[in-house]
Amino acid sequence: MKFHKRLISTQKFIDWQIPVLLGVLLLASSFSAHSQNSELREIEDSVIKIYTTQAAPDYFTPWRLLTPRQSSGSGSVIAGNLILTNAHVVANASYVQAQKHNDPRRYQAHVTFISHEADLALITVDEPGFFSDLKALPIGDLPEPLQEVSVYGYPIGGKSLSITKGILSRVEQQIYAHSGTYLLAGQIDAAINPGNSGGPVIVNQQIVGVVMQANSGRRSENLGYFVPPSIIRHVLDDRIDGRHDGFPDLGFRTQTLDSPSAKLAYGLRKDQSGVLVIKVFDGSPAQGILQENDVILKIDDYDVADDGSIKLSENILTDYKHAIDLHHIGESVLITYARNGEVSSSTILAERALNSYSLVAGEQFDKIPEYYIYGGVLFVPLNMNLIKRWGNDWGRSAPVTLLQARNQWSSPQRRELVVALQVLASDVNLGYHDWRNWIVDFINGEPVRDFEQFSHLLRTNLEENVVLENANGYQMVINHAAAISSEAEILSQYKIPAAHSVGLFKE
Note the pLDDT tens digit of each residue in 250-276.
999 999 999 999 999 998 998 899 999
pLDDT value at position 220? 47
For the cut 50, the answer to whether the pLDDT of residue 7 exceeds it is: no
Lowest pLDDT segment from 132-141, 354-363, 420-429: 354-363
Annotated active-site residue 94? The verdict is no
Q: What CATH number is given for 252-349 in this structure?
A: 2.30.42.10
Annotated active-site residue 434? The verdict is no
Among 228, 215, 210, smallest CA distance to 142 is for: 228
**Region 20-25 average pLDDT:** 51
pLDDT value at position 428? 96
Annotated active-site residue 88? The verdict is yes
DSSP summary character for residue 352: B
422 or 158: which leads in pLDDT:
422
pLDDT value at position 357? 84
For the cut 70, the answer to whether the pLDDT of residue 13 exceeds it is: no
Domain borders along the chain are 13-39, 47-125, 148-241, 252-349, 372-493
The yes-or-no answer to whether 252-349 and 372-493 have a common fold is: no
Which CATH architecture fits 47-125?
A: Beta Barrel (2.40)
DSSP string, 170-231: EEEEEE-TTT--EEEEEEESS---TT-TTPEEEETTEEEEEEEEE-SSSSSSS-EEEE-HHH
Cα–Cα distances (Å) from 96 to 90, 93, 128, 441, in that order, read 7, 7, 17, 42
Task: Please state, in angstroms and rounded to a whole number, the distance separating the CA atoms of residues 26 and 28.
Answer: 5
**Region 152-170 average pLDDT:** 87
Query: Which of 72, 197, 309, 410 is an active site residue?
Result: 197
For the cut 90, the answer to whether the pLDDT of residue 16 exceeds it is: no
CA atoms within 13 A on the CB side of 396: 2
Note the pLDDT tens digit of each residue in 28-62.
454 444 444 556 777 899 999 999 999 999 999 99
- In three-state secondary structure terms, 12 is helix
For the cut 90, the answer to whether the pLDDT of residue 315 exceeds it is: no
Query: Which of 72, 119, 178, 319 is an active site residue?
Result: 119
**Region 439-459 average pLDDT:** 96
Cα–Cα distances (Å) from 106 to 47, 74, 98, 111, in that order, read 14, 13, 6, 16
Cα–Cα distances (Å) from 110 to 51, 95, 122, 126, 243, in that order, read 11, 8, 9, 9, 17
H helices of 213-360, where? 229-238, 260-265, 321-325
pLDDT value at position 17? 58
b vs e for 52-77, b when ≥16 Cβ sit within 10 Å of the residue's Cβ?
bebebbebebbbeeeeeeebbbbbbb
242 pLDDT band, cuts 50/70/90, is confident
Chain-wide mean pLDDT for the chain? 89
Give the CATH class of 148-241.
mainly beta
Query: Which of 74, 88, 294, 322 is an active site residue?
Result: 88
Q: What is the largest CA-CA distance in the chain?
A: 131
123, 85 contact by CB (below 8 A): yes
pLDDT value at position 60? 97
pLDDT value at position 214? 76
**Within a 10 A sphere around the Cβ of 339, how many other Cβ atoms?**
15
**Region 409-437 average pLDDT:** 94
pLDDT value at position 158? 75
Among 14, 19, 152, 167, smallest CA distance to 73 is for: 152
221 pLDDT band, cuts 50/70/90, is low
**Region 425-436 average pLDDT:** 96
pLDDT value at position 20? 52
Q: Is the domain 372-493 a CATH 3.20.190.20 member?
A: yes
159 or 295: which leads in pLDDT:
295
pLDDT value at position 160? 85
pLDDT value at position 50? 96
pLDDT value at position 232? 97
Cα–Cα distances (Å) from 299 to 190, 223, 273, 274, 322, in that order, read 34, 31, 12, 10, 10
Note the pLDDT tens digit of each residue in 342-385.
999 999 999 988 766 889 998 999 899 999 999 999 999 999 99
Task: Please state, in angstroms and rounded to a whole number, the distance separating the CA atoms of residues 38 and 384.
Answer: 47
